[in-house]
Structure 1
């Protein structure tokens, strides 16, 4: 995957997640088990990106709030539904691009296996095309791997390059 394309992949995945988080969350939304989660994201060619995140209930709530803020300013359409262990999300979002705004139309399905793993399959269409691509398919999986590591606090995320940041700090909290 080209270095220039990686930020677009990350933004696309956040937009898929953000679309799901921008609406009022259903009370039957599946919950993740507190502890250390390993998340793998792939799409648009290239190697999968693996991150680890220390999660507790408050961290998930912070992520939901961040997604709502981001999507609220970028997306004109949100639809979210829960059917059994599957969360369906659809959105239409606009983001600035080098040649003007880019409209991203997304659909994702997240299937939970209890509270210890999930898989998201998403499809995004770009109008106009971005770097020659008008569509992308992204996949994200997550699995609970145990307790957070010694010294980790909820919200700590280890990026693919080893950089550690805290999700809560990104929201200015």
Structure 2
């Protein structure tokens, strides 16, 4: 259950980074090319998780493009607003009978470091009870990608490697509403 909560917090934070759909869409800037370290802090009894992602401008743009249709299918609301200190996103997404309402505040820059603070409320699922959660993603640019990494590679805790370019394949696994 803890891992599911951590994953749902991470997904809410990542969805906050996707472009909003609508007539007047605010787009987040692309991150600086290279290796980014992202620390996910969820508080409470859920341990922090640190991952690294190798990226470039093309991969960041492709990730937004590939994930946007998936987000459009599972999210009934996705708003991004520019603020004096960064961006604020509000979203309502549903998957497998769970509805997640989230708000994320994004501060910093996309060249050296940024922070995504997300608060979310989920309802439904096996337990059926409403659950509130807060998470923070602290991202920092650490330099060039390592020699054995290609843009899109994410190194998860424990050394598991996946590539965001495979996300389109994951779309087929998401149940339709």
Q: TM-score, with normalisation over the residues of structure 2?
A: 0.82
2:60 corresponds to? 60
In the aligned structure 1, how far is the partner of 2:149 from the partner of 2:47?
Answer: 26
In the aligned structure 2, how far is the partner of 1:67 from the partner of 1:88?
Answer: 19
70-79 or 18-27, which deviates more:
18-27
In the aligned structure 1, how far is the partner of 2:54 from the partner of 2:20?
Answer: 24
Deviations 1:23-56 (A, max 9, x none): 24535x3331110000000215322100000010
> Does the aligned pair in 2 maintain the 1:116–1:144 contact within 8 Å?
yes
2:79 corresponds to? 79
Shift of 1:66: 3.2
145-154 or 78-87, which deviates more:
78-87
In the aligned structure 2, how far is the partner of 1:59 from the partner of 1:84?
Answer: 28
User: Aligned-residue CA RMSD in angstroms?
Assistant: 2.1
1:39 corresponds to? 38
| Larger proportion of strand | 1
1:104 corresponds to? 100
Shift of 1:155: 0.6
The reply on whether 1:125 has 2:124 as its aligned counterpart is: no
2:146 corresponds to? 149
Structure 1 unaligned regions, length at least 5: none
Structure 2 unaligned regions, length at least 5: 170-177
Q: TM-score, with normalisation over the residues of structure 1?
A: 0.84
